[in-house]
Amino acid sequence: MSMSEACVILFAIMLLLISSKEAASFQSGSRSILRAVSGENKAVVDYAVDLNSTNFDSVLRDTPATHAIVEFFANWCPACRNYKPHYEKVARLFNGPDAVHPGIVLMTRVDCALKINNKLCDKFSVSHYPMLFWGPPSKFASHGVKPKEEKSEIHMIDDGRTAERLVSWINKHLGSSYSLDDEKFENEHLHSNTSDPGQIARAVYDVEEATAFAVEIILEHKMIKQHTRVSLIKFLQLLAVHHPSKRCRKGSAEVLVNFDDLCPPDMWSPDKQEEVSNGKGMLGNFQICGKEVPRGYWMFCRGSKNDTRGFSCGLWVLLHSLSVRIEDGESQFAFRAVCDFIHNFFICEDCRQHFYQMCSSVTVPFNTSRDFALWLWSTHNKVNKRLMKKEASLGTGDPKFPKVIWPPKQLCSLCYLSHNRRENATSQIDWDMNEVYKFLTGYYGKTLTSLYKEKVRLGDEVTDGAIVDLVASTNAVVVPVGAALAIALASCAFGALACCWRSRQKTRKPRRSWS
């Protein structure tokens, strides 16, 4: 055998050995992958939110939860790895769209083994792993914890070594009776709106949820047509100035200034179907109230069953909150914007027709914001009366939140001058309209945003009055002239918007489509 032949044979043997090792490795890896995806579908879901120094403040500042737990751990720590399943069992109750008790406790974790978190862990004087802290989310975002610090609202959890003990600790501090076995909507801890007037403060998050959900419905059902564009623009203009959530005001203004790009007039035409193949187009990529919304759950508007309250409640709270924020000169514009929005975009047919009939019965323009707020309140009570009868006969109402005439005496005794029951068993209420209006402005105005404003003071959100600056800073206000002028006449804030629109349209450059 020649040297060259021997080299060829040796090379072939080496190739066989390498290929056999690769095949063995691949087969072994394949078996491990199969075990991972099979094995009775044992995929582990993390419910606790991982935080680091870059998002710690913003997440805790913006959460709708009333309380927060932060676990400081190290990824190399065996005790931390063993504790994680316990922590996750509890986090399942409070975190995520499938949370059993949403909006109560935000459960988070910070890995102190990562260099990016060194200063953050030092800020909270972390001395061992795992280490758990409890407190109001806003307090975590505003400062840390010093050793032996007194009068701090952030407390170390001293007895949470197992899931059972952690839940017990939470129950002790909240006066609750949560259990690891709790399932969604099997929950006796829901607060009745009539028993706790302070609950409305949490509804700002449901107003954000309802706003985002309404946009999703409009897009999913392809409801933006040539004849509905103006009504959508008017409603967005109302939101941009008067929405109780600053991030929704900011998002509505951004949609307005980019409206022709996000919602082109022919967006549902056949030649545009490839661009909007998901049924949403570019507006579907825009989150009107921020990247965290929709969250997938309700707080103030949560029903005791998963098919009650929710979106309809959130939408009503939104409309009432708008009605008490407008100025007198905007009352007729707001009335038409709300009526047209419900008529064109609310897809519950009976509700839509009933509401629009009440809109059509108004023959005299509204001159004051008080008139519009009281009309909407009266309209809501008429809707409740109609639904009361249906739900009573069909048994479809929420037993914990039955339809009532609003507000009940528990919330506003001064609103009632008298309450007489007629012979035919119907009720006749003599209202003190001044007291009703005072209640509405307090309940849907100051009280609704009290919690939210407290959180916002700690952050760098867009400040009041800055929406016009936001709009003016963009390339162009792409709203129809008539709609822009209408809102300009109705609101001093949008006077600047209209002026900006006229001046910048002249120098507007063609806008490239989003990638």
Active site residue 77: yes
The phi, psi pair for 196, rounded to 5°, reads -140, 95
Contact indicator for 412, 401 with CB cutoff of 8 Å: no
The strand pair at 427-431 and 155-156 is best described as: unpaired
3-state secondary structure of 67: strand
Report the sign of the C-alpha dihedral through residues 494, 500, 503, 508, in that order: negative
**Which string of DSSP letters, residue by residue, matches 410-422?**
TT-GGGEEEEEE-
Give the whole-angstrom CA distance, residue 219 versus residue 10.
66
- HSE at residue 138, side-chain half, CA atoms within 13 A, is 11
Nearest to 207 by CA among 234, 239, 236: 239
- The b-or-e profile of 313-325 (16+ CB within 10 A means b, else e) is bbbbbbbbbbbbb
Question: Kind and range of the H or E element at 133?
Answer: strand 131-135
Nearest to 87 by CA among 186, 167, 141: 167
Q: Cβ neighbours of residue 405 under 8 Å, at least 6 residues apart?
A: 381, 384, 385, 427, 429
Contact indicator for 462, 341 with CB cutoff of 8 Å: no
3-state secondary structure of 427: strand
Active site residue 313: no
Give the whole-angstrom CA distance, residue 241 versus residue 513.
27
Q: Which of 7, 80, 313, 499 is catalytic?
A: 80
| 423 residue type, one letter | E
Give the whole-angstrom CA distance, residue 313 versus residue 55.
31
Give the tokens for residue 305: 């069953």
Give the whole-angstrom CA distance, residue 178 versus residue 106.
15
- The b-or-e profile of 416-448 (16+ CB within 10 A means b, else e) is beeeeeeeeeeeeeebeeebbbebbbebbbebb
Q: Which of 7, 77, 289, 351 is catalytic?
A: 77
Residues with active-site annotation: 77, 80
